[in-house]
Structure 1
């Protein structure tokens, strides 16, 4: 009996994903829990394991397809029944082969694919083909952008792209028509087969049959780079996002022309400057990010209060015990565990900072799920450490280290980034001296850490050089009063300047 492979749960707020890579092909044997494919969502990569041991019969969702939660990805037959299914038992496979076998006797519409349950429209970002060009079945025709992901649209059949109905920049509805593929596949295929072998291999030599990574295409478009300006490091010369970043860095480091350096200063000319500007429409994803960040500011009565902490005692304590700590627990002693413990200590005294608003109710949390913001090559993510109020320094450091590594590798699940009650953001690792962090709704507080910098301080009537750090607490003034916010920050400061207070719960 055939077993279906379906899209797993992606998270509360995620309804769709893109099939990034298939590790197996139809006909390959698979073992129980062996990785079949990899899905990409807005924030994380999700691996799909095999539910049984058997043979991969067919792949329903191909690389580049956008799929919803619980959508069918593939079918697996048990090892003893492999190959027993007939073509008649697979109408989907038979239907998929029909357009290619028919030779393109009539036109085929290119339609907008399913975008997800909560997504009804998309913007045509890029057409990879022009009207009149020949296309092969499953060759990428265009790319659509939704609020959350980029969707690639493959050719439903071989033929000639006779008409493009939705141009770049147009907004299209789910199920709308993008273009038309006309007859010509039957004539084009034999002609190609009768040509000299060198002509048949020309596309492979030019690299045009190698589909670059969608993220790389978007990065090239945003940077204004053409495909021949980027050297691909992926399989068969496929361009990855890191290749685009390297090309941009190389362009910036190139020496400026001597003529530009010798040009005499002059008043700016608006017309000339306009000719050197580039106007690029914001992607739907960037528009959504901008809108949601502004919504967070508009919804919450956000305010930030500041203080500074003398890190002398924490640094001395860490220096004294870091070797013994690492030897016993197998993990380095950092500053984040001290700040996490100090915040937990302060949240017990000022519980409204750990609460949230639900309609006209205030929900107080009798636990602390701490979000620790982490920078990754893909962007900022906030893994959540659950029940940190019940964990030791060693447990906190181990979990921060483990989740930080998985965040950089893109292996965090959506569940690991949900449910936080308070957040710590450390901009100091990038050299930030002072900033005002933005709340992570529905949370009511976020602590911003900054760079440790030696500064002259008045200590007992004398000027001493001390390692100082500015702290910033952004909070929702609807439920956190100024007194509570200041008290919270003072308690954090006191706990860090005298860590013994944490031991005695003072």
Structure 2
């Protein structure tokens, strides 16, 4: 007998009054467990709320624009899984996932379940490969419609023997996803734990087995209190709530004591996947193995712990949380500064003639609404320089230097939430007008927080411009795995000797930081002077 079940907003951290930005279901829809019902958005992240029951939607109690909190009812469903859940143990299994007549393994196809009226849905993530062991409810692939994403879980446990889909494929209900060598009743008994419990058990096993002859006391502490292996003993609840992750990933993170605010998501829109969580745990355990507690704080450098000071003893204070962007970029900057031997060179570029040309172009393009900034010219100059000095358009990979045939220019953009780096792809194939338009568009969307993750990836060289603020020079930190970065400060009129007299010239301070393992000082200065000469006489760009 069917029954009406209320599906509510799950644990979403300490947030209340969260905006509903998308409702993916309507009355009459058939839904499966883990189908996305609604999408919520905080001030920093979005999260999909999945169904925890299968059935037919009888009532939708929220709409786009509503605000919800944990425990609010989203939909009422005529549940179709209640009858099967209550079925006598003597009945035959509903699904063919597990045989009950013997203990041998059999190959079972896991297919796309009922996904509503959608067909030819894009596969945007594949979370498993041949040889992986999967458990019931473990995410296999992620699908995307024009309105929502949905994870497709496994209905069987066993070893993956074939994967029939890849990223970019289109699938519909009934399409085969994988083949699993599913064991029988004995395996069913062993896989009765939830995916989160299996993940926890496996990771705890790895933690307990961490070899570290010099850190026996530390390892014993990790065995007894797993969460302490992952940094702070206290979870930053605000950061945890803002993290873009599904309820199952949040549950696993809490069981492990992992602060999701410290985990970088690789999924769509920065979503944190189980793979990201495992990678984070693995990286922390490697640090423990390399050098104990000091390593977890200093990346194996055996640094002293950061000083803990009660500043309120000295006067009034205000505690302000770092934005998620600053947390992530801060970790990257610290790593890059410690790991890369930086050298920084400085040079002034005479922009006098270029500034006259820029103002002329702005008048000509005014009716088209195009306004050229000095940065557009600097990007083109860097493209020419990278073509002339290809080692600056490379990445270090162990003892090998990866020389890139493409030129993607990243530019640091200052936003209310922190620094982001949009990337102009294939800049060498674009003219000044196209680069100007792309600069304006990406800068605007960066300030609004609307850049897509793929628009901030793949840079081969970065420019950090403070030209709109001031300064006479600085030391930009290289954006690994790149090998160089150009810093730009505000142009100033300075006296310049022309051989007979001093004359006022508009000088733009340039600062080039480079990886000294790849580039020596002489090559760095040649590169910087080359850019300076191009900006002084922009006709050279066409040579």
TM superposition score normalised by structure 2: 0.49
Distance verdict in 2 for CA 1:55–1:470, change over 3 Å: farther
TM-superposed CA distance for 1:319, in Å, is 1.4
Q: Which residue of 2 aligns with 1:392?
A: 431
Given that 2:407 and 2:428 are in contact with CA atoms closer than 8 Å, whether structure 1 keeps it comes out as yes
Given that 2:347 and 2:529 are in contact with CA atoms closer than 8 Å, whether structure 1 keeps it comes out as yes
Matches within 5 A, 1:54-453: 85=79, 88=82, 121=230, 123=232, 143=237, 145=239, 149=243, 174-175=254-255, 274-276=313-315, 278=317, 290-328=330-368, 330-453=369-492
TM-superposed CA distance for 1:287, in Å, is 7.3
| RMSD after superposition | 5.0
TM-superposed CA distance for 1:275, in Å, is 3.5
Given that 1:25 and 1:56 are in contact with CA atoms closer than 8 Å, whether structure 2 keeps it comes out as no
Q: Which residue of 1 aligns with 2:100?
A: none
TM-superposed CA distance for 1:432, in Å, is 2.6
TM-superposed CA distance for 1:283, in Å, is 7.3
Q: Distance in 1 between matches of 2:49 and 2:499?
A: 64
Q: How many residues align?
A: 320
| Deviation string, structure 1 residues 124-163 (Cα, Å, up to 9, x no partner) | 769xxxxxxxxxxxxxxx926569949999xxxxxxxxxx
Q: Find the residue that maps to 1:305 and give its secondary structure.
A: strand
Distance verdict in 2 for CA 1:461–1:441, change over 3 Å: same
Given that 1:122 and 1:146 are in contact with CA atoms closer than 8 Å, whether structure 2 keeps it comes out as no
- Larger RCO (alpha carbons 8 Å, 6+ apart): 1
TM-superposed CA distance for 1:460, in Å, is 2.9
| Deviation string, structure 1 residues 446-465 (Cα, Å, up to 9, x no partner) | 11010111112212321111
Distance verdict in 2 for CA 1:151–1:303, change over 3 Å: same
Given that 1:122 and 1:144 are in contact with CA atoms closer than 8 Å, whether structure 2 keeps it comes out as no
Q: Which residue of 2 aligns with 1:37?
A: 39
Q: Find the residue that maps to 2:467 and give its secondary structure.
A: helix
Q: Find the residue that maps to 2:517 and give its secondary structure.
A: coil
TM-superposed CA distance for 1:39, in Å, is 5.0
Q: Find the residue that maps to 2:386 and give its secondary structure.
A: helix
Given that 2:422 and 2:455 are in contact with CA atoms closer than 8 Å, whether structure 1 keeps it comes out as yes
Given that 2:58 and 2:77 are in contact with CA atoms closer than 8 Å, whether structure 1 keeps it comes out as no
Q: Find the residue that maps to 1:429 and give its secondary structure.
A: coil
Given that 1:23 and 1:35 are in contact with CA atoms closer than 8 Å, whether structure 2 keeps it comes out as no
TM-superposed CA distance for 1:276, in Å, is 1.4
TM-superposed CA distance for 1:22, in Å, is 1.9
Distance verdict in 2 for CA 1:58–1:124, change over 3 Å: farther
